[in-house]
Structure 1
Amino acid sequence: MEALFRKKDLATFLETLKTFPGEITACVTLSAKQAKFDSWPTVNPKLVTTLNELGIEKPYTHQARAINLALSGKNVVVVTPTASGKTLCYNVPVIHSIMEDNSCRALYIFPTKALSQDQLTEISTITNKLGVPISTFTYDGDTPPQERAKVRAAGHVVVTNPDMLHTGILPHHTKWIKLFENLRYIVIDELHTYKGIFGSHLSNVIRRLKRICSFYGSSPTFILCSATISNPLELAEALIEEHVELVAEDGAPRAEKQVLIYNPPLINKELGIRGSSLLATAEIAAQAIANGISTIVFTRSRLNVELLLTYIRNNLRDLRMDENLVSGYRGGYLPNERRKIEKDLKNGNILGVVSTSALELGIDIGSLSLAVIHGYPGSISSAWQQIGRAGRRSGGSAAILVASSNPLDQFIAAKPDYFFGGSPELARINPNNLYIYVDHVKCSAFELNFAQDEPFGKTNPKEVLEYLTQYDVLHFAGSRYFWQSDSFPAQGISLRSATNENYTVIDVTENHKPKVIGEVDRPSAPMLIHPEAIYFHDGKPYQVIELDTKGLRCYVKQVSVDYYTDADLAVRLQVLDVFKEEDQWGLGEVLLSFRPTVYKKIKLMTHENVGYGQIHMDEEEMHTTACWLKLEKQYSEALGEENLSSGLLGVSHLFRAIAPLFLMCDRGDISVHHMVRDPMFEKPVIYIADNVPGGVGLAEGAFMLRQKLINAALEAIESCPCENGCPACTGALGATIRAKAPTKTLLNILRSQADVK
């Protein structure tokens, strides 16, 4: 590889990108912005002096407003870009309150351990300079057992994560009396990450937390911070079930930043096949590092971190550069390894890092000039968080989003206005999902017995309490419900899945020494761990040799193969209840029945289909929510039966690809199905269903945004350069049956019908 960019500055490097064989579909310059300052709110003068000594002479306008609201006891959500100083919005009121009353306590909740460590450093910098004895500790899985008692007894500020709060703090609240009796503030950072199942769980964890606070006589103020999404206030209020004040006007300065979208070259126009985004990302990153440009590379999976790291190091060796200038960073690394990488980045000992979203959040890793993002990360807010990792403390910076062949990536590359305009994303949660709700009522009953008419958040849990009593989990006596089961409920409940029925993955490569290497939630099992499936863990391929569906165990052996597997599902869908109907659209409860039928073997890197096999598994069922689009008789008449079938296939594929852009979810969180003649409605129907037992609000979101979905789908297919359909617009099968024309016709009819109404 020729060292095209060696010793070029950032601006020249970006110009040289134009010589690459792909296409820069968007290049937007975010102009520099002056800071807007305000005066300090009424806080301890010594704290103001200390902040001045640390170089913070005045707060930005959004900081001053948030601090004032928090000090007056009002819940607040701060929604400003990355590196706008949101940390000060909660550290100042917390430190001031502890200085005024030494018994005051605060609980900080961050979604990742790395972010917890970073925020611990932030607050410690202020308190150490202040010279006031304010004890701040992290309490997570990395906290040594000998330190935990000290944290419980002496911690003014306890920094933790949702999982540790769920399993390690709330069930043991009697050891945390000092914290709960004096809890003044609860800080929830990175609010936008609490969506879908995770957010629905956290809302119930907050219900449990508030119930314990009430028991000990405290009523804390919530301070929440979020990246930009469409509904931050709605999400914050749904999460804590209280009124929240919104602070969204950003007063922080911004240096100039260039943001580019790079699409690898089109290799086969007819099939819509593009060059490898993985190799393109590695080449761009290696050339940047070779030029001395400090670079962070983001990718979505652990496997891709390892692949990109390998490719970048190979490229650096070809450029006669030190391959150790770049390091990996992902979940699975030991705490000491992560801390060393963070320190080396800050100190400039390494110039590049390849990471999953573990470094996406507000961890201070010093001044980086370039962010290279391999593939759209799943949400616009995540993308901007990653873009914001470059230029946090420096002048000009840049970010390059390298589009993958994923249909949503190609849609954003073709229609960058959806990316650079206001975020269309709605973060949705459903705390009352019955599967999730029952689990947390159990946890709460374990923590404190329930009075007969006591609420749980804003809900009445009486029916659930009576149900648990019937099954001897609870005992009712003297108008109260008492825990009587031997089990420890929180331990068996994951905050990342709707049910705790997970398959345990057991490595039996060495027969005499089997070991557990992972878990797979039950709804995902038919696709991921069917017999003969290839299961990846820590970058290594394992083959499923046995699936115990009764014992929920999956036995795997390590193998050496260069392919992965992808299963096809046969799906039946039955509408059980209709919640609402408007025009051709409906929303309701459905029963999804699915069974995997065949699997394909797909070669790594080239994605060629190199074989297939049959799957023999029982049918699984799931109650969930769905919205649907019914097509009246005139559609069949306008298109004809054959074209209608092709059009339904194409529209379904586009909805599946584009809906996550609006619903702020992963593609796997929804399932989209179509029927040429639905048994219930006796018409052609397209369903968009929550791929989660009970649903978490995604189907309702699709129902609300249905016109936007139709418009976006039409834009996507019209902007696709293929002739008759391809994997990016109509799907692989749609390309085979030349579905592009009937898909466009169907979408145009749907849009015109909506415009008439």
Structure 2
Amino acid sequence: MSIPSATGSPAASRGAAGAPGSPPGFDPPAALSALASGAPERLRHVHEVPARSARPEPWPTWVDPTVYAACAGSGITSLWSHQREAADHAHAGRHVVLSTGTASGKSLGYLLPVLSAVVEGATAPSGRGATALYLSPTKALAADQLARIQAWAVPGVRAATYDGDTPTEERRWIRDHAQLVLSNPDLVHHSLLPGHERWAPFLRALRYVVVDECHVYRGVFGSHLAALLRRLRRVCARYGSHPTFVLASATVRDPGLHAQRLTGLPFEEVTRDGSPREAMTFALWEPGELPDGSGRRSATSEAADLLASLVADGVQTVAFARSRAGVEALASSARRTLDDTGHVRAATGVAAYRGGYLPEERRELERSLRDGTLVGLAATNALELGVDVSGLDAVLMAGWPGTRASLWQQAGRAGRAGTRSLAVYVAADDPLDTYVVGHPDVVFGQPVEAAVLDPGNPYVLGPHLAAAAAELPLREVDLDLFGGEAVARPLLDALVARGILRRRPNGGWYWARSDRPGDHLSLRGAGEVVGIVESRTGRVLGTIDGASAHTQVHAGAVHVHQGQSYVVTELDLEGGTATVVRGDPGWSTFAQSVSAFDIVAAERSRRVGPLEVCFGSVRVHTQVTSFLRRLPSGEVLGTHPLDLPPRTLRTKAVWWTMPVSWLAAAGVAEVDIPGAAHAAEHAAIGMLPLVATSDRWDIGGVSTAEHPDTGLPTIMVYDGYPGGAGFAERAHQAVEAWLGATLETINGCGCEAGCPACVQSPKCGNGNEPLDKAGAARLLQATLAELGRFPSAEL
């Protein structure tokens, strides 16, 4: 994150020029008017986010003079109010969570107490003194923070990044000498905690643990971090340290509660932003109709045209897309448009940025964005976090990014140089996007969502208990740290029964195997990773998680990397590689799958008349069976079978059942139930992010005219992660609001038989067949009538 401060800082002195090469005095309303000049009807809503005035505070007296001198040398001579408040809490040893706007300088709120403690401890006889651990969800963010600390050149501070890219020979020096270690949760899990004896001097002196961008830790990833931080607290206590935790995020509701769930500790909240920010023009944009009238243009194509227009005018812009393929397509299309319109030189300043790239590729793109070589960048949410790319003028968002928190996080990437900024949300042909552009209050009249996580998720907590026992034998007294007797004891008993742990007669649980528990546990929930390898050169193009490999890099799939097309010749799941050859066959591929589910247990059930709405545990069985080859025109060239193993997911779901006779009375004949239920399921999945902190790609659904476990027509929406992620539970709590918005979207769509803006799904394994839009509307209307439409939760 950048660190704006009072007048006199380098960030404040840049004025309206923005990034190198951007137009002087950038005028967002004028730029938006120019974009909409050819089709004003596409500009659905414009909202002005007002400027925010500064609230400066004097420098605290407890800050070490050398730290103050280093900051003053960088132009930072006073603080914003939230920086001072958070720094005072942390210095006093109080756990604190700092949740203020993007680019509000949160870093300074924790760096002041951290660096002061480190400098004061550097005079200790050991030369080590106090230590601190900084954790970020991405390597890029940690590298960014290190560059800032090194630029300040505070005497006596030895800081270093410790991640998967750190050479082996440097790791010992870092363990033995670094006072401030910047890392990520994965390295704490795989290296620091299993090897805590080697880290003993560092852990013994650990004064602070900083968790940056804490809003990222939600769902299963958040549950993993909650268990990891409890393991870290336990190992620290073994060495006599009880560090102060400082958490930071620009976008999280109830930050104190979220921080408490992540760490198990009480927190002070700092939420009033004292930093200045110039106004932002925020537009909602709906793409126009396709020439043949078959629907709207895709958000990716529309955003590519907008990006090309802005880049041609020298406006430095980041365009966010929802998928890796979308990012590649957006960048390629923008470059092609610039070439075709005579802006050949400008086309060279457009690139793509996404996860799966090699580290050196990402670092080079970040450098080029900072120095202005890149004027346009298409990115996934890999660039959503606080990597310092100060000076951007505009942000485009192609499709709903999953949550309001992500939307504002992405929009906040512009305007970091004290200038006015432009943010444009481009609606995809999708139920939620259609709803949002017609209901601006969803964006501008609602707070960001609460971050959902479950520290007691047994699929997450069980493996962490095994890892904790391998680090230090677990004792009865440790159970309170991991959810208490009722939560932890059954999991420990199961681990003992499976031979993973051993219970000693004198008490305690011990690791009972020769391998390491970390080898079987991925914090990111991705499980196995598949490398994408070019056959001719052996070059690794990138990586993909094992579950996605089935649908995206199966044999015959077309894979795009930095605008270049490759065809997958072999997917070796056992060896973890997908082999590709370079070449564009002229078509794209789309995987098809079949799904079924078993109901394990209904944990909550609500019966209203003949309907029953349930939340509970399920098993979802999915198998990719074939793929389509499709021309850019949409024409299908053929279907090709695949021989891939089925995958079974044990997770949480919300489902509801309806009698056939009741559906018939609602106007849905028995023969029409499959299409009506399928369409209602698709639309409900598309609208779930409105009430839960999910992306539609985090969730799945299955519908059936008669399920063997219920004997009735059943519609189910489930969390796409083992053990669940809290999304389906939130849907069950807010079922009226959720299904009400779903029905409104279907009824408000002008298509006749169903389209991507209402009931078609971009990830349907059955090729969106059968779908009955009218039947879905009648089904949902009758369901809501039974439920009574009394509000159970706000949107």
- The TM-score, its normalising length taken from structure 1, stands at 0.89
Q: CA deviation at 1:110?
A: 0.7
Aligned: 1:13 with 2:36: no
Q: CA deviation at 1:41?
A: 4.4
Q: Which residue of 2 aligns with 1:193?
A: 216
Q: Secondary structure at the match of 1:627?
A: strand
Aligned: 1:290 with 2:312: yes
Q: CA deviation at 1:64?
A: 2.5
Q: Which residue of 2 aligns with 1:420?
A: 444
* Structure-1 separation of matches of 2:602 and 2:783: 22
Contact map agreement 1:241 1:458 (CA 8 A) in 2? no
Q: Secondary structure at the match of 2:194?
A: helix
Q: CA deviation at 1:77?
A: 1.7
Aligned: 1:627 with 2:654: yes
Aligned: 1:161 with 2:187: no
Aligned: 1:132 with 2:150: no
Q: CA 1:308 to 1:677, structure 2 compared with 1: closer, same or farther past 3 Å? A: closer
* Structure-2 separation of matches of 1:93 and 1:16: 47
Q: CA deviation at 1:309?
A: 3.3
- Which amino acid is 1:15 matched to? S
1:422-444: CA deviations, max 9, x gaps? 24534222333333223222222
1:365-403: CA deviations, max 9, x gaps? 221211122333232222211211111113211112223
Identity %: 31
1:29-58: CA deviations, max 9, x gaps? 112121223444452362456545544443
Q: CA deviation at 1:463?
A: 4.3
Aligned: 1:389 with 2:413: yes
Aligned: 1:357 with 2:413: no
Correspondence for 1:91 among 111, 119, 131: 111
Q: Which residue of 1 aligns with 2:594?
A: 570
1:303-702 map, 5 Å:
303-317=325-339, 318-322=341-345, 323-331=347-355, 333=357, 335-423=359-447, 425-451=449-475, 454-455=478-479, 456-460=481-485, 461-477=488-504, 478-497=506-525, 500=527, 502=528, 504=530, 509=535, 518-522=543-547, 524=548, 527-528=551-552, 532-534=556-558, 540-543=565-568, 545=570, 551=574, 556-558=579-581, 560=583, 561-583=585-607, 584-603=612-631, 605-616=632-643, 619-631=646-658, 634-641=662-669, 642=671, 645-702=674-731
Contact map agreement 1:107 1:185 (CA 8 A) in 2? yes
* Structure-2 separation of matches of 1:613 and 1:189: 46
Which stretch has the larger CA shift, 76-85 or 580-589? Answer: 580-589
* Structure-2 separation of matches of 1:184 and 1:235: 22
Contact map agreement 1:727 1:734 (CA 8 A) in 2? no
Contact map agreement 1:327 1:352 (CA 8 A) in 2? yes
Which stretch has the larger CA shift, 149-158 or 743-752? Answer: 743-752
* C-alpha RMSD of matched pairs (Å): 3.3
Q: CA deviation at 1:729?
A: 0.5
1:245-293: CA deviations, max 9, x gaps? 222222222201111122221126864x222433332332222222222
Q: CA 1:138 to 1:595, structure 2 compared with 1: closer, same or farther past 3 Å? A: closer
Contact map agreement 1:476 1:482 (CA 8 A) in 2? yes
Contact map agreement 1:76 1:247 (CA 8 A) in 2? yes
The total of aligned residue pairs comes to 742
- Which amino acid is 2:713 matched to? P
Q: CA 1:756 to 1:187, structure 2 compared with 1: closer, same or farther past 3 Å? A: closer
Q: Which residue of 2 aligns with 1:115?
A: 141
Contact map agreement 2:251 2:409 (CA 8 A) in 1? no
Q: CA deviation at 1:83?
A: 0.8
Runs of 4+ in 1 over 6 A off after TM superposition: 5-8, 512-517, 732-738
Q: Which residue of 2 aligns with 1:61?
A: 81
Which stretch has the larger CA shift, 476-485 or 26-35? Answer: 476-485
Q: CA deviation at 1:328?
A: 3.9
Q: Which residue of 2 aligns with 1:740?
A: 773
Contact map agreement 1:108 1:186 (CA 8 A) in 2? yes
Contact map agreement 2:567 2:580 (CA 8 A) in 1? yes
Q: Secondary structure at the match of 1:239?
A: helix
* Structure-2 separation of matches of 1:292 and 1:574: 55
* Structure-2 separation of matches of 1:179 and 1:639: 69
Aligned: 1:247 with 2:250: no
Q: CA 1:255 to 1:207, structure 2 compared with 1: closer, same or farther past 3 Å? A: same
Q: CA 1:464 to 1:367, structure 2 compared with 1: closer, same or farther past 3 Å? A: same
1:207-222 map, 5 Å:
207-222=230-245
Aligned: 1:203 with 2:226: yes
* Structure-1 separation of matches of 2:334 and 2:770: 39
1:201-251: CA deviations, max 9, x gaps? 222221221111111111111111123234433332221122222222222
1:163-200: CA deviations, max 9, x gaps? 22221222221121122111111111111111222222
* Structure-1 separation of matches of 2:554 and 2:375: 42
Aligned: 1:263 with 2:283: no
* Structure-2 separation of matches of 1:6 and 1:53: 29
* Structure-1 separation of matches of 2:510 and 2:386: 42
Aligned: 1:72 with 2:105: no
Which stretch has the larger CA shift, 309-318 or 115-124? Answer: 309-318
- Which amino acid is 1:688 matched to? V
* Structure-1 separation of matches of 2:286 and 2:327: 20
- The TM-score, its normalising length taken from structure 2, stands at 0.85
Q: Which residue of 2 aligns with 1:43?
A: 62
Correspondence for 1:171 among 171, 194, 197: 194
Structure 1 runs not aligned, ≥5 long:
none
Q: Secondary structure at the match of 1:431?
A: coil
Contact map agreement 2:251 2:448 (CA 8 A) in 1? no
* Structure-2 separation of matches of 1:546 and 1:98: 50
- Which amino acid is 1:589 matched to? S
* Structure-2 separation of matches of 1:750 and 1:316: 50
